[in-house]
Amino acid sequence: MKFIPQVDDYVRWKTEYVNVEGWVYFCDDLYITIETGIKPKPNCEYTKIERHKYIHTLLLCFPKQWKELEYVYTRKNRYAETLEDMEVFIR
C-alpha cells in the first residue's frame, strides 16, 4: 500500500542526502512541507498585533520522493505541547 502524506502526520525522511523527521505542515498535489523546527518569533516594533507567534523551518518534499518517507504516527491536537497531549495514533 502506497503512503500518501497528510497534514499532522509525523514522518521520517532518510536518503543518501537527507536524514530528517518532523510533522507534515502542508500538503498539496505538487509538494508537502515537513516541519523540522520551530522557535518563538521575536517582537516586531512595526506590528501592532502579532498574528504569527512562531518561526517554522520547513523542508519541501515532492511526490516522486514520497516513497522515501516513513510514516510514524498522526496527531489529533497540533497545539499541544507534549506528545501525550497531542493524542497521537496510527492511521
Give pLDDT tens digits for 55-90: 899 999 999 999 999 999 998 877 777 777 777 777
Residue 1 reports pLDDT greater than 70: no
Handedness of CA 73, 79, 85, 87 (dihedral sign): negative
Give pLDDT tens digits for 4-61: 999 999 999 998 988 999 999 999 999 999 999 989 888 777 777 777 788 899 999 9
Report how far residue 12's alpha carbon sits from residue 56's, in angstroms, rounded to the nearest whole number. 18
At residue 90, the pLDDT reads: 76
Phi first, then psi: give them for residue 68, nearest 5 degrees.
Answer: -85, -5
What does the domain layout of the chain look like in residue ranges? Answer: 9-86
Report how far residue 59's alpha carbon sits from residue 3's, in angstroms, rounded to the nearest whole number. 18
